[in-house]
Structure 1
Amino acid sequence: MSVIASGHEWGQFVSGAASLEEEEPGGVTVHRLPAWARAQVDDPLFSFAEACPVGVTVRFETDASFVTLTLSSTTLAPTGADPAPVTLIARQAGSETNVPLSAPSVIFLGPENRVVDVRRQDPETVTVPTAGSGPVEILLPHNAQVRLVSLESAGRLVPSPASGTRWTHYGSSISHGMNAVSAARTWPVAAASRLGWNLRNLSFAGNAQLDGFAARIIRDTPADVITLKVGINLVNADSMRERTFRPAVHAFLDTIREGHPSTLIAMISAVACPIHESAPGPVTKDSEGRARAASRAVHPDTGALSLRRTREILADVVHGRADERLMLVDGRELFGDEDVAMLYDGLHPDQDGLDLIARRFIALGKDWNVERIGEAS
């Protein structure tokens, strides 16, 4: 019998996380950002998104026919609605198994995303089949916080570190994919699987705000290719204007280049989103729950950002830096004006839209001159 339970042991089996926070009465909570970065943002939804382990995996080899994983999960749901399913995805030798979690805790949100109720559940134990050959990879949920308690096998358990082209991706809710049907169907995870890339996913729903801590983490994370998906959150939160956006992009790139002087960086602008192409944020919702641009009280609103203007400024920044390893990708190459019927709420692509973005990104990524610097640690 082999058992993984302590924080030190989990650290050898978990890939794609920044830290594993030991909890009482036991287990570790998975975080995609280190504690010093988390402390710089005072926002409950950011804290939830950061702790959703999209792109984080448990990887191992075993000679047993199955393993048991004990964990707890916490997801969000609007008041009166059923929470979205929370699942694990187990991969081995090209096969994929969906392992549903039956007892997630649920935080119910009311108007303005205020917590109105919490349904707490105890940890649950699930069985993961491992009868094939080769390493096992368990994708943790993309839409729930996770506390790992124990991993048990009747046979041996050996860590299997991730390998392949190291890809760091920074993005918004479209990259986070909270509405995807599973962690495997978020577009960065799907693209990484097809390209054979080893993903570090720094996509945070609603929170791709060019925060300095994100740039420092990207700077200090080994990578062979870096992609930065920038624009939509800055507009729909109305968090920047032209005067601040341009130098913030430069500063973000300056910081990353301190640690990656020659790594390929692809700056990806916003995908098509009609409500904000020419209208600034903040985003609001109509009576049917669809996203729309707010009506601005001041006209003309000089310096307010629309998606169209963010694309123009990003193009100016990229072309003005004379950096041969910095490239620009127009986000509409991934999801364009002809695709906007797949924005199920006027803002987020549905699953077909996420699949489309993945396929188009894969086609682009295959042609990039990615220089392998070494294997991931």
Structure 2
Amino acid sequence: MTTITAEEWNDVLFGAADLETGPSGGRMPHRIPAGLRRQLDGDAMFEWVESCSAGVRMRFRTSADRIALTVASTTLATNGVHPPIALVVRQGDDRSLVPLGDPTVVEIDAKRRVTGIRPAAPETVSVAVRPEQPVEIRRPHNARVELISLTADGTIEPSPPSGRRWIHYGSSISQGMDAVAADRTWPAAAASALDWDLRDLSLAGNAQLDGFVARTIRDTAADIITLKIGVNTVNADSFRERTFRPALHAFLDTVRDGHPTTPVVLITAIACPIHEHSPGPVVARPDGMAAAAIRSIEKDDGALTLARTREIIADAVASRGDDALTCIDGRELLGAHEADRLYDRLHPDQLGLDLIAERFVAMMR
């Protein structure tokens, strides 16, 4: 029998920056290194989305035909309701979902503070596998999962991913918190289709050109880097034109410090009618649909709209004289004529995510 615990997780876990000890004594993967993510200490929503393991997966071979995985999972509830969470187990063309049944439930208020926790105990799930064939277990993209132990009646050997190393940075549209499974977010689906090794730095609500994210990208090996920028900066009304342009250049400068010749693709916002020509912030209506705040660009000189972010991003790419830097108009991934795919007028439904993945793959090929 082989059991993996503690630091041995590093041998079979891919797509994470580091691990920290969790409340149940296991190990919790993070996508931003500890020393950098502390620069935003106290923001419960950022801490939540960063610790949800988009793109993080276990990969190994085993001589056993069954494994047991013990985890402690945590999910975020909205108005007392939380989404189902599951592990995705893949071997070749075979795929299965393993539901995680009784997670700890956390609630976060509008001021991005934790307001309640309903704790739950760790659980053990058993998974049938084919001996000696690579096993990939994708962790939930919409939940925090503490790894306690992996046990098999046989050997367990790491099976590192292959293919082009791809770093993707984006918003909730990329993290796909509403995707039906961890392999159905658009970056995960695209990585599978292209056979790329994804490092997913999608941070729902938090694609804010933070320097600590640029430094994470700078210090991570990559063969291609994609940066999907625009929607969160408008949603949060976090920049004006005066600050957005230099922040974008500074982010790119930092990335280039570590990747001077790596292909970098900037992707502008997909079509989102509520913010095409209306500045942020986004507000939630009583019916759960998103809307733009009632404002006037004339009264808010320099306030950003999605249309203006696209222009600034395209201008920045053209001005840098960087042959390895290109730009994709996000409306080529999901256009204005497909706005019905935005189930809340802001986030794509699963079909919308599938369309984005399919079109991105076609562009990359």
TM range (shorter): over 0.9
User: What is the aligned partner in structure 1 of residue 188 from structure 2?
Assistant: 189
User: What is the aligned partner in structure 2 of residue 369 from structure 1?
Assistant: none
User: What is the aligned partner in structure 1 of residue 37 from structure 2?
Assistant: 38
Alignment partners' CA distance in 2, 1:11 and 1:235: 37
Cα RMSD after superposing both structures: 1.3
Q: 1:206 to 1:25 in 2, by over 3 A?
A: closer
Q: 1:323 to 1:298 in 2, by over 3 A?
A: closer
> 1:307 is matched by which residue type in structure 2?
L
5+ residue gaps, structure 2: none
User: What is the aligned partner in structure 2 of residue 304 from structure 1?
Assistant: 303
The alpha-carbon deviation at position 283 of structure 1 amounts to 0.4
The alpha-carbon deviation at position 22 of structure 1 amounts to 2.1
The alpha-carbon deviation at position 111 of structure 1 amounts to 5.5
- Tell me, what secondary structure is at the counterpart of 2:40? coil
> 1:361 is matched by which residue type in structure 2?
F
User: What is the aligned partner in structure 2 of residue 240 from structure 1?
Assistant: 239
- Tell me, what secondary structure is at the counterpart of 1:40? helix
User: What is the aligned partner in structure 1 of residue 59 from structure 2?
Assistant: 59
User: TM-score, structure 2 length as denominator?
Assistant: 0.97
User: What is the aligned partner in structure 2 of residue 210 from structure 1?
Assistant: 209
Alignment partners' CA distance in 2, 1:117 and 1:252: 35
Alignment partners' CA distance in 1, 2:103 and 2:146: 11
User: TM-score, structure 1 length as denominator?
Assistant: 0.94
> 2:30 is matched by which residue type in structure 1?
H
User: What is the aligned partner in structure 1 of residue 319 from structure 2?
Assistant: 320
Alignment partners' CA distance in 1, 2:271 and 2:24: 46
- Tell me, what secondary structure is at the counterpart of 2:39? coil
Q: How many residue pairs get matched?
A: 364
Instruction: Say if 1:194 and 1:362, in contact at 8 Å, map to a contact too.
Output: yes
> Aligned pair 1:106/2:85, yes or no?
no
Alignment deviations for residues 110-138 of structure 1 (CA, whole Å, 9 cap, x no partner): 55565443211101000122125521000
Instruction: Say if 2:24 and 2:122, in contact at 8 Å, map to a contact too.
Output: no
The alpha-carbon deviation at position 161 of structure 1 amounts to 1.4
Alignment partners' CA distance in 2, 1:302 and 1:203: 30
Deviates more, 1:239-248 or 1:24-33: 24-33
The alpha-carbon deviation at position 24 of structure 1 amounts to 5.1
User: What is the aligned partner in structure 1 of residue 48 from structure 2?
Assistant: 48
User: What is the aligned partner in structure 2 of residue 175 from structure 1?
Assistant: 174
- Tell me, what secondary structure is at the counterpart of 1:90? strand
Alignment partners' CA distance in 2, 1:67 and 1:198: 24
Alignment partners' CA distance in 1, 2:234 and 2:360: 23
Q: 1:243 to 1:11 in 2, by over 3 A?
A: same
For residues 101-180 of structure 1, the aligned pairs below 5 Å read 101-109=100-108, 115-131=114-130, 133-180=132-179
> Aligned pair 1:76/2:76, yes or no?
yes
Percent identity of paired positions between Structure 1 and Structure 2: 55
The alpha-carbon deviation at position 299 of structure 1 amounts to 3.8
> 1:275 is matched by which residue type in structure 2?
I
Instruction: Say if 1:61 and 1:135, in contact at 8 Å, map to a contact too.
Output: yes
Alignment partners' CA distance in 1, 2:233 and 2:185: 21
The alpha-carbon deviation at position 23 of structure 1 amounts to 3.4
5+ residue gaps, structure 1: 367-377
For residues 15-30 of structure 1, the aligned pairs below 5 Å read 15-23=14-22, 25-30=24-29
Alignment partners' CA distance in 2, 1:114 and 1:317: 36
Alignment partners' CA distance in 2, 1:259 and 1:73: 35
